[in-house]
Chains A and B, each alone.
Chain A
Amino acid sequence: MKIENTKAQMRKGVLEFCILSILQHGDAYTSEILSQLKDAKLLVVEGTIYPLLTRLKNAGLLGYRWEESTSGPPRKYYALTETGNLFLKELNTTWSELVEAVNLVTTIKPTEK
């Protein structure tokens, strides 16, 4: 059992949730999503995100449009769909519950048994 794998798995698990959350605040193209995730240190390598985006898009949670760019080729802008919004809300609830539960478990003191 490699610690790196476990870490990567933890990160990957919340990645979908984070992508949806980023798009909640407005449409974004891939590089913007990437830079936000990287700033938050949620992403080590960029490669991971592409299959995720495609999957979310195929699941109908995301939509995209091509937008001309002043510098370079057109960009792919992602936007949250109606379903995506609902999905995100549900994830939000789950996330809060999960954080609470994890906190409870990890901060429990041995004497309180």
Chain B
Amino acid sequence: MNKTININLGGVFFHIDEVAYQKLKLYLDAIRRSLSDDPQGRDEILNDIEHRIGELLSERIKDARQVVNENDIDEITKIMGKPEDYLVDEEIFEDEPKYKSRVSSKKLFRDAEDKFLGGVSSGLGHYFGIDALWIRIIWIVLVVAGFGTGIPIYILLWILIPQAETTAEKLQMKGEPVNISNIEKKIREEFQDVSSRVKDGVNDVTSKVKNSEFKKKASNKAKSGVQEILDTLGSILITLFKVFGKLIGALLIFIAAATLIGLIIGAFSLGSFEILGFSNDFIHHPPFFYDSVLPTWLLVVFTFIAVGIPFVVLFMLGLKILSNNVKSFSTTTKLSLLGIWIISLLGLGFAGINFAAQTAYDGVFNQTEELPVVATDTLKVKMIGDENLSNRSELRRRYSYETVYDNDVRKLYSNRINVDVKSTDKSNAFVKIRKESSGKSRQNANSNAETIEYQFNLTNQDLLLNGYFLTDFKNMIKEQQIDITVYIPLNTIIYLDGSTRTFLDDVDNVQNVHDRDMPKHYYKMTENGLECLDCDPSIFGERYKRENEHFKLNIDNNGVEINVNDGDNNAAIKINENGLKIE
């Protein structure tokens, strides 16, 4: 069922149905535009054409009650020819006839007649002049390869793009495809429009000047001229803006869509990957998500909304620029979106402040353990790792964390351990473990420190220290570390195993041997400190070497100093501002 319209075509009365009317109207408009070079003759020509069309139609329509339908118009246009066929004049000797018809303002609609879901694809297909099949394939790729990311974008488009319902909308939907050559054409036409308007304007001005009885001052005329030029410039700018606006719109849509896809993938990776048990190590979560008063899923949702909504708005703006018939959200929707957005921001802000507070205080937990080692015993210190935990082959001190699974529980693995050796007055050796962590309060920090899992044990006078410690996964940023100090009585001998090399932290010893040179040697605890028993003098520290040299000659600004030392006796000659001194 179709509405009919009554028209007068070249003096003959016709009933015409709506679809046919729109077609005929578009056809005549297109001809009018292709004849725009010849404004005087145009109306006359169009009149003739209307006459002829009326004549042709009345040949087909014998009964006055019969209605002109789409087929009739199609037949007529076939007889009369395309709008370009009306161009005969200057273009005759050109290779390609200039295609003058203006890009009809094509609009983005959903095509309900060719729909799979909402007709979005066919609508886009019409808009870009490509087969809807290709667009559907893109959707499928987006949905399958992008973990369903296409779906929300599709829904968004479904909501925002109106369905083509009236005939006029259907025709607008199928107008000329928007492509580069059409855009170029449009620019050209707009400029022609502008220049003809300028001509009209100038004629107008000159006629005014002629007609006026020179009452007006010359400045007034000049002003209107200037105004005319400004108007022209304005029109040119508007034209350019219109064209680049489309590009900007497309760019906005692209950026927004890409961001939304990224966000969705992000949300999925944080959400469902975990639920599905996909490789967790693959994803590096921000520590932010792990030690929060709010549950992780809520943070994910908040982040998604806080970032996503602005891009949804951007997406909508882009669509609006591209095609001005795109719907806006209703005020209610807009306000609720704004509300949700603000709530998400507040939630994130709250979580952020909470998170920042996590490291506000430093806490310590001390643990002391007696060792059955007394004077003259030999204690061997060794660092051990657990191959089942860490993937790294070498056990050494590191400041980075590693995610590991301890009996299927995800934990944080760290090698931030410092080892020191000191003397004690007690008869027994002992080891002191000092665990450090930060927290949002002193108490919290202390309890965080206490929960650090660390073990060591002693077998046959071998002190086996773990070269790692484990903590809750959420403690990612709490600057946890362990300081181990081994206290040994005087005359106890200690052997540092090679594994301790990177863990030793500024161990004081008589010969100033550097930490990294200390392992694999025996040391005895003397009154002065640790003394190496089997070290090569080449690893002794500079200061020790200097102080224990047998002969030393020093000449500098202070004068000359000669020292001789044979172990027990010292002799020195000093020449300085005080004169010569022999000791």
Residues of A participating in the B interface, judged by any CB pair closer than 8 Å: 1-2, 5, 9, 12-13, 15, 30-31, 34, 44-48, 50-55, 58, 72-74, 76
17 other A-B residue contacts (CB within 8 Å) besides A50-B48, A54-B48, A73-B11 = A2-B96, A5-B95, A13-B92, A15-B88, A45-B80, A45-B81, A45-B82, A46-B79, A47-B31, A47-B49, A48-B86, A50-B49, A51-B89, A55-B88, A55-B89, A73-B12, A74-B11
Q: How far is the CB of A30 from chain B (nearest CB, A)?
A: 6
List of A residues within 8 angstroms of B87 by Cβ: 51
Determine if B96 and A48 form an interchain contact, defined as CB atoms under 8 angstroms apart.
Answer: no
A-B CB contacts (within 8 Å), total count: 77
Mask: chain B, 8-49; 1 = CB below 8 Å from A; 0 = not = 001110000000000000000001000100101100110011
Determine if B51 and A45 form an interchain contact, defined as CB atoms under 8 angstroms apart.
Answer: no
**Distance A44 CA – B12 CA, assembled complex (angstroms):** 26
**Distance A48 CA – B41 CA, assembled complex (angstroms):** 14
**Distance A72 CA – B51 CA, assembled complex (angstroms):** 10
Determine if B81 and A31 form an interchain contact, defined as CB atoms under 8 angstroms apart.
Answer: no
Determine if B80 and A73 form an interchain contact, defined as CB atoms under 8 angstroms apart.
Answer: no
Indicate whether B97 reaches chain A with its CB closer than 8 angstroms. yes
Determine if A30 and B52 form an interchain contact, defined as CB atoms under 8 angstroms apart.
Answer: yes
**Distance A53 CA – B38 CA, assembled complex (angstroms):** 13
Indicate whether B58 reaches chain A with its CB closer than 8 angstroms. yes
Given A2, A15, A46, A54, which contacts B81 in the complex, CB threshold below 8 Å?
Answer: A46
How many of chain B's residues have a CB under 8 angstroms from any CB in A?
Answer: 33
List of A residues within 8 angstroms of B81 by Cβ: 44-48
Given A1, A46, A53, which contacts B95 in the complex, CB threshold below 8 Å?
Answer: A1
Q: How far is the CB of B75 from chain A (nearest CB, A)?
A: 12
Determine if A5 and B45 form an interchain contact, defined as CB atoms under 8 angstroms apart.
Answer: no
Residues of B participating in the A interface, judged by any CB pair closer than 8 Å: 10-12, 31, 35, 38, 40-41, 44-45, 48-49, 51-52, 54-55, 58, 78-83, 85-89, 92-93, 95-97
* Residue contacts A-B, CB under 8 angstroms, 26 given: A2-B96, A5-B95, A5-B97, A9-B93, A12-B92, A15-B88, A30-B51, A30-B52, A31-B55, A34-B52, A45-B80, A45-B81, A46-B52, A46-B81, A47-B82, A47-B86, A48-B85, A48-B86, A51-B35, A51-B45, A51-B88, A54-B45, A58-B41, A72-B12, A73-B12, A76-B51
Determine if A73 and B51 form an interchain contact, defined as CB atoms under 8 angstroms apart.
Answer: yes
Q: How far is the CB of B316 from chain A (nearest CB, A)?
A: 43
Given A30, A47, A53, which contacts B85 in the complex, CB threshold below 8 Å?
Answer: A47
List of B residues within 8 angstroms of A9 by Cβ: 92-93
Determine if A51 and B96 form an interchain contact, defined as CB atoms under 8 angstroms apart.
Answer: no
Q: How far is the CB of B254 from chain A (nearest CB, A)?
A: 36
Q: How far is the CB of A9 from chain B (nearest CB, A)?
A: 6
List of B residues within 8 angstroms of A31 by Cβ: 52, 55
Q: How far is the CB of A108 from chain B (nearest CB, A)?
A: 25
Q: How far is the CB of A110 from chain B (nearest CB, A)?
A: 29
**Distance A12 CA – B97 CA, assembled complex (angstroms):** 12
**Distance A44 CA – B81 CA, assembled complex (angstroms):** 8
Q: How far is the CB of A45 from chain B (nearest CB, A)?
A: 3
